[in-house]
Amino acid sequence: FQGSFDARKGNWGLVTDVIYLDVGGSRKELVNGMVGGTQLPWEINGKVGLDMKSLVWSAAGYYRMVEDPDKSYDMLSGFRYADIEQCINSSLSGDIGEIPLPAREGKVNIGANYWDFIIGLRGQFTLGQSGKWFIPYYADIGTGESDMTWQALAGLGYSFNWGEVAAVYRYLDYDLPSGKPIADMNLSGPAVGAVFRW
């Protein structure tokens, strides 16, 4: 899930943005006792699963430096908070002939959270004489509890009377301190969304 809220009066404004992820995957393996074409009487079943939950929240104040029908530029300053949790589950079972092996299960949880100060630039360029098509862009960089974090976004949008629709590509990167359970993290991919204005 991604969402943002923006409020502006005159040239001054506030913007906040949230990304929430809940993703995971698992893999099963069956190992038979086959050695050199000979079937040995043992079999082992293994399973490993990984789940990751992350919340990334940014908030900033901004000043609109340029606003005209063809383009706009905002300078912004604020913070970003990241809460990252990862869980690894594993299980192992099997048998030797008719003798079952004792089952083994394991679970490891690691997590971290970071506050960082960010500065950035955002805006958009209008395309064509109709003024309906535009290119939105956003970039920021920051540091604090992480060694460095940065984010970039660009895409293509179309304006309606009620708001806008846009398709963008977004990249968010964290370079985290050495010695921590999670060394670094990056999130990237395309997104399609709608902007409602009132």
Per-residue pLDDT of the chain (198 residues; tens, 9 = 90+): 899 999 999 999 999 999 999 988 888 876 666 555 666 566 777 888 989 899 999 999 999 999 888 899 999 999 999 998 989 888 878 777 677 767 788 888 888 889 999 999 999 999 988 889 999 999 999 999 999 999 999 999 999 989 999 999 999 999 988 877 777 888 899 999 999 988
Please give the angle made by the CA atoms of 4, 189 and 58, to the nearest 5 degrees.
30
Give the model confidence (pLDDT) of 30-78 as tens digits: 666 655 566 656 677 788 898 989 999 999 999 999 988 889 999 999 9
Residue in the block written with tokens 């301190």: 177
* Cα 69 to Cα 52: distance, rounded to the nearest angstrom: 43
Phi/psi region, residue 181 (left: phi>0; alpha: psi -120 to 50; beta: rest), is alpha
Q: Which one, of 110, 139, 141, lies nearest residue 123 by Cα?
A: 139
Measured distance between the N- and C-terminal CA atoms of the chain, rounded to whole angstroms: 22
* Cα 53 to Cα 23: distance, rounded to the nearest angstrom: 7
pLDDT for res 180: 75
Question: Residue 67 is encoded by which pair of tokens?
Answer: 């606003």
pLDDT for res 134: 95
| Number of Cα atoms under 13 Å in the Cβ half of residue 182 | 24
Q: Give the total residue count for the chain.
A: 198
- Please check whether residue 156 is in contact with residue 135, taking contact to mean a CB–CB distance below 8 angstroms: yes
Strand partners for 47: 28, 91
Count of Cβ atoms closer than 10 Å to residue 141 Cβ: 16
pLDDT for res 34: 57
pTM for the structure as a whole: 0.79
Q: Which one, of 73, 81, 65, lies nearest residue 16 by Cα?
A: 81
